[in-house]
């Protein structure tokens, strides 16, 4: 009678390639390493710490505002920065800064998440609103302008609102949750629209150093997928719904292209950022000179800043003035004359693509 072979033991799964002790539970999108949850936390946090230290983003005693939207990026940034500040004794005073654009069913819900984060992380929260700053909500703007160009208004107003909120908090720097995917998208977008000025600075980890409040991006080399994984495994409280007005945004096309590249070659995201860093602008290229807006005093390369131009168009009942449109406004001669007058003072369109 043939001898029955003993059943082989069922494979227990791959071991973590870092500690070689615990079972791997995920594959890192950036490196494709199979690692355990504890090692993932460690390498994720250590990479961000190294970016902060190597680039000297902060100095002890500085007041730092964290741009908080309630989404995954800003929530993970607030959590990790507060942890690293405590663990490595950065000596920073951290604050949460949120902008209420006035989008019913989206921003009102996400702000509730930020208010919970305020309690969870013990960080003071400051909220500034479009309505208070500009007299308009995004719902009101979309009702007038439609869905085609609304992201231009929101991006310009949000950037200025963050700066004004940071000034109210009297902080030394503002940090945002822009990740590696965001920066790679911006490099491509600036190439597509031939924006030399922004292409020359969009990969900088710190911008606005010559302005009132510099901005830092500690997640510059951090993949969006890893941020999502970190938030999921840590069970962080964040808001995951997409803005109801953003599906038509131009950036979405670049985002899909980046995702396709990442599926083929995960390192493509870092390669695009590296390419952006290595671009050199010809010395003969005329760059815009920075000044201040004659109307509100905000940073501008023209007589009026972009926010004031857009706001003027809204208040006149001609919202397309600020977008540089010269046709399609009912064919009124007076409208065309006002557009031409506005184009003489407006700054270069920046939309929601500028960091």
Q: What is the pLDDT confidence band of residue 64, given thresholds at 50, 70 and 90? A: very high
Do 133 and 173 have their domain in common? yes
C-alpha dist (Å) from residue 157 to 110, 136, 137: 18, 10, 10
Q: Which residues are documented as binding site?
A: 67-69, 73, 99, 177, 182
The reply to whether 70 falls in a domain is: yes
Neighbouring CB atoms inside 10 A of 296's CB total: 14
Q: Map tokens 């990790």 to a residue.
A: 80
**Are residues 316 and 183 part of one domain?**
no
- CA of residue 21 relative to chain centroid, distance: 37
pLDDT score of 248: 64
Q: Is the pLDDT of residue 49 over 90?
A: yes
Is 169 inside a domain boundary?
A: yes
pLDDT tens per residue, range 293-305? 888 877 777 888 8
Mean pLDDT of 93-116: 94
Q: Is residue 83 part of a domain?
A: yes
Q: What is the pLDDT of residues 325-345, one digit of tens each?
A: 434 334 444 444 444 444 444
Q: For residue 323, what pLDDT is reported?
A: 72
Pair 196, 314 in one domain: no
Indicate if 107 and 142 belong to the same structural domain: yes
User: Residue by residue, what is the 3-state secondary structure of 262-311?
Assistant: HHHCCCHHHHHHHHHHHCCCCCCCCCCCCEECCCCCCEECCCCCHHHHHH
Q: Could you tell me if residue 277 is left (phi over 0), alpha (psi between -120 and 50 degrees) or otherwise beta?
A: alpha
pLDDT value for 120: 95
Binding site membership for ATP: which residues?
67-69, 73, 99, 177, 182
Same domain, 292 and 171: no
| Greatest alpha-carbon span in the chain | 103
Residues 100 and 228 in one domain: yes
Q: Given this model, what pLDDT does residue 279 score?
A: 83
Structure-model confidence comparison of residues 33 and 288, the more confident one: 33
Q: 256: domain range?
A: 48-240+250-279
Q: Does residue 324 share a domain with residue 234? A: no
**pLDDT at residue 199 in the model:** 82
* pTM of this structure: 0.83
> How large a percentage of the chain has pLDDT more than 90?
57
Same-domain check for residues 180 and 230: yes
Number of domains in the chain: 2
Residue 155 in domain = yes
Shared domain for 99 and 117, answered yes or no, is yes
Asked if 154 and 106 touch (Cβ cutoff 8 Å), the reply is no
Q: Are residues 166 and 221 in the same domain?
A: yes
Give the CATH number of the domain where residue 100 resides.
3.40.50.620
Same domain, 197 and 319: no
Confidence at 57, pLDDT banded by 50, 70, 90: very high
């Amino acid at each position: 009678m043939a001898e029955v072979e003993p059943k082989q033991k069922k494979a227990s799964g791959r071991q973590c390639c870092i500690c070689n002790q615990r079972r791997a539970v995920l594959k890192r999108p950036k490196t494709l390493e199979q690692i355990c949850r504890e090692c993932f936390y460690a390498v994720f946090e250590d990479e961000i710490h190294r970016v902060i230290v190597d680039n000297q983003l902060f100095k002890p005693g500085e007041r730092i505002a964290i741009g908080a939207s309630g989404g995954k990026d800003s929530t993970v940034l607030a959590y990790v920065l507060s942890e690293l500040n405590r663990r490595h004794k950065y000596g920073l005073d951290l604050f949460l800064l949120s902008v209420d654009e006035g989008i019913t069913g989206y921003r009102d819900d996400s702000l509730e998440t930020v208010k919970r984060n305020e309690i969870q992380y013990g960080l003071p929260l400051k909220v500034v609103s479009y309505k208070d700053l500009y007299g308009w909500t995004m719902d009101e703007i979309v009702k007038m302008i439609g869905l085609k160009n609304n992201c231009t208004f929101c991006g310009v107003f949000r950037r200025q609102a963050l700066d004004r909120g940071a000034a109210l908090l009297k902080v030394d720097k503002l940090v945002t949750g822009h990740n590696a995917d965001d920066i790679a998208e911006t490099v491509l977008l600036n190439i597509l629209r031939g924006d030399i000025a922004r292409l020359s600075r969009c990969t900088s980890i710190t911008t606005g150093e010559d302005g009132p409040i510099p901005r830092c991006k500690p997640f510059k080399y951090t993949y969006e997928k890893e941020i999502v994984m970190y938030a999921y495994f840590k069970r962080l409280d964040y808001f995951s719904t997409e803005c109801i007005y953003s599906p038509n945004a131009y950036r979405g096309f670049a985002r899909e292209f980046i995702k396709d590249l990442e599926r083929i070659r995960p390192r493509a995201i870092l390669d695009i950022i590296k390419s952006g860093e290595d671009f050199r602008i010809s010395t003969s290229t005329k760059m815009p000179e920075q000044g201040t807006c004659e109307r509100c005093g905000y940073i501008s390369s023209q007589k009026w800043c972009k926010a004031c131009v857009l706001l003027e168009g809204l208040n006149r009942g001609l919202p397309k003035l600020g977008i540089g449109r010269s046709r399609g406004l009912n064919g009124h001669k007076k409208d065309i004359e006002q557009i031409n007058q506005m184009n003489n003072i407006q700054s270069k369109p920046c939309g929601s693509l500028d960091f």
